Structure 1
Amino acid sequence: MIFGNRGRERFRAAVAGFEAAVRERDTDRSEHEFQEMYRHFQEAGEQGIAQAAPRLAALLTEVPPGPRGTIAVVVGACVERGADPAACAPHVFEGLAETLAGVQEFSERWSATRGGDHPDPEEEPAPDVFDRVGPRAALSWLTLPQWEMASVAMLNHAAVRTALDDDRRTELFRALRAAEEASGHDFKCLAHALLVLDDEPLVVLHRPTGTGYALRMSGLGDNFQLHTLLADVLVGGGHVPGRAPSAEEAAVCRDQPGQVHTTGSFNLVTPTGEWVWNEGTPSDIPLVDGVRLLVLDPPPYERSRPAGRFFPHMTGALVLERVLAPEEAGHLLAGCVTKDS
């Protein structure tokens, strides 16, 4: 206990020292205090982590561009250990937006200076990268994976997702997609996290039985997760025939750790007959009269896969609110078409 208390105190002192050194523009001391923070991070108590996260988040704009992404990752790690994400997220998203703007600049300059494949941001850059595009643009590209990690740590929390302005979310998503298209690199975790829906109405029509269901979904990272929970609610709830997932399969798609084997129960289809791919997200389901409308067909073949959550720290939910009246379900199904794959 004595050594535990000492570690907690050293962590708090390192955070305070780092904060002071950054504001005093003392590079050597900043590096020393950061190493002390890193050394004692695992020993930091709950209170120390809770206090450190918002202080470090508020400091991000004052940290030089090179190490700024690293500090954002530290903030994300604090949130994963219980710090308040709502207090940290605005600062992290501000840094993400600035980084994505720098990435756009990087891509434009990279294309204007001989082009070629973008360097791998997770590897040591070639010496000419900084000369070709300039330090700011280069550091934006090279630190984007760190901002992805930090941002996903924030977006794992429903309170952060629901507080994020829709226009801001769209702006971040479009900038990220532009970065992916220009670079050929994939930032799937951040893209999926920005697309997560919360408290979202979903109407599901089961074509073989002609029945319909009004549900509400939150925190689903991909359609694999949605698929398993639909089978749990509808097949497991006795509403439609088919294979119901086990209690464990459903639990790992809601809030339990790990993955387990499962088999698909449906083919997810849009009202116009296109497949809704399991690899996509619930945001792919089209809106019809302001509500997402999904059709369930029999699976064309058996699909085995792991059941679990795309985001292991994000709680998922799918709730049945009501069974549609037969005439309501029939009317909606009459407007849906069937297409061959």
Structure 2
Amino acid sequence: MPGRPATPLPELSTGLAQAVIRLDSRASTRSYRAIVDRLPHADEAELSAGLLPLVPALEQVAFGNGKLLATLVAGLIEQGADPLPALAVLSERLATGLELAAQFGVLTDKLGGEVAAPTSPEDYQRLRERVVRAAPAAGLSLEEAGEITQAWFTVDDWIPSLLLPLQQKRARQALPGRDRLTAAAATMTPYAEDAAWLLGLLEVLDDEPLLVLHRPTGRAYDLTISGVSSTFQLHTLLAATLIGDESRGLLPGEPPEAAWVAAATDGELMPADGIRGQFYLADAAGETIYNEGRPADIPLLGDHRVIVLDPPPYDRTWTVGRTYPLMTPEVVLNRVLPPGEAAEWARRVAPAA
């Protein structure tokens, strides 16, 4: 006798969204478990269709009650759902949550004593009573104080819903409200554990022109980079792209080991023997470009970010090839500049220290 047909994700997600909106915790838990059970059997089309009914619920749910939905959305995207339909809502809700949470300092002095996240209804009631007493002294309405407190204790639960999609180039390029979200994430970086990871993704450059000048040979290269999260990663990828056949205008030297390049792209993050630097990097003004920074930190000279490569003055090694395991970097060599053009760029940069 044939078994009962499996309920498809869109139907399960619709049930979850409705239960969340009406604050039915029992039905929410039941629907959530059914969705988790269905995920391993769903293809990308079903996963994407299953995401759509959750978007209105993401928009309406109280921030403090949204962890279930935000976590599920991250899971659907990780499995293969198209993130684009959810980006606008996630960006707006998360920016608002981060902005509210950043105001918690206004309340802390008035609440009296240490403030811990509530873990039970009794804890929540005690915290609410403290917020009720503190709000007038902080110059806030009770509603404002409640929203700020709720965001402070729950905003970290929402951040992973964007950490996954923003490792996709098309999601980064389609993200609305990027400047507002970046400012909000920067403000909360000292306080919310995942805010720094979000900020790093928001500052990733895509389709960004890069001019690289190799001072010892006078050669220069026009490149385009996307999805590179750190200068450590860029350092390895520049060596992989530019060291090679000198008859084609590439640089002399030993190319980076395959394990280093894999760690910087889509392989194991930590090669057994670490990664070795092959250049000293400076900007056009002669200032050191630190590996701990990001490509977005490299100053512009005209309409190009400029990197000057010199021999490394000492051995430098690091252990991790890339910051975001699911983000695919692109470093494209567009052209080797002819000698006259390379010399002109060399005249525009600061001399070697």
> Which TM-score band applies after superposition, normalised by the shorter structure?
0.7 to 0.9
How many correspondences in the alignment? Answer: 331
How many angstroms does 1:327 deviate by? 2.5
Alignment of 1:298-337 (within 5 A): 298-306=311-319, 308-337=321-350
3-state DSSP class of the match of 2:212? strand
The equivalent residue for 2:141 is none
How many angstroms does 1:129 deviate by? 5.5
CA RMSD of aligned residues (A): 2.9
Structure 2 CA distance, aligned partners of 1:184 and 1:54? 28
The equivalent residue for 1:161 is 172
Query: What CA deviation, in whole Å up to 9, does each residue of 1:293-317 have, x standing for no partner?
Result: 1111211211122353211111101
The equivalent residue for 2:198 is 190
Alignment of 1:30-41 (within 5 A): 30-41=28-39
For structure 2, the 5+ residue unaligned runs are 136-144
What amino acid is the match of 1:170? D
TM-score between the two structures when normalised by the length of structure 1: 0.85
Give yes or no for contact 2:160–2:194 (8 Å, CA) kept in 1: no
Query: What CA deviation, in whole Å up to 9, does each residue of 1:51-100 have, x standing for no partner?
Result: 21222133202223223133112112111111111122122112111211
Structure 1 residues 78 and 25 mapped into 2: Cα distance closer, same or farther (>3 Å)?
A: same
How many angstroms does 1:250 deviate by? 2.0
Identity across matched positions, percent: 32
Structure 1 CA distance, aligned partners of 2:58 and 2:245? 48
Equivalent in 273, 298, 307 of residue 294 of structure 1? 307
The equivalent residue for 2:295 is 282
How many angstroms does 1:25 deviate by? 4.1
How many angstroms does 1:24 deviate by? 3.7
Structure 1 residues 129 and 279 mapped into 2: Cα distance closer, same or farther (>3 Å)?
A: farther
For structure 1, the 5+ residue unaligned runs are none
Give yes or no for contact 2:159–2:194 (8 Å, CA) kept in 1: no
Structure 1, 261-270 or 131-140: larger mean CA deviation? 131-140
Structure 2 CA distance, aligned partners of 1:209 and 1:312? 34
What amino acid is the match of 1:279? E
Structure 1, 290-299 or 54-63: larger mean CA deviation? 54-63
Structure 1 CA distance, aligned partners of 2:8 and 2:52? 18
Say whether residues 1:177 and 2:186 are aligned partners: yes
What amino acid is the match of 1:135? G
Equivalent in 190, 210, 223 of residue 231 of structure 2? 223
TM-score between the two structures when normalised by the length of structure 2: 0.83
Structure 1 CA distance, aligned partners of 2:282 and 2:74? 36
Give yes or no for contact 2:10–2:53 (8 Å, CA) kept in 1: no
Equivalent in 149, 165, 189 of residue 138 of structure 1? 149
Give yes or no for contact 1:22–1:62 (8 Å, CA) kept in 2: no
Moved over 6 A (4+): 125-128
Structure 1 residues 323 and 17 mapped into 2: Cα distance closer, same or farther (>3 Å)?
A: same
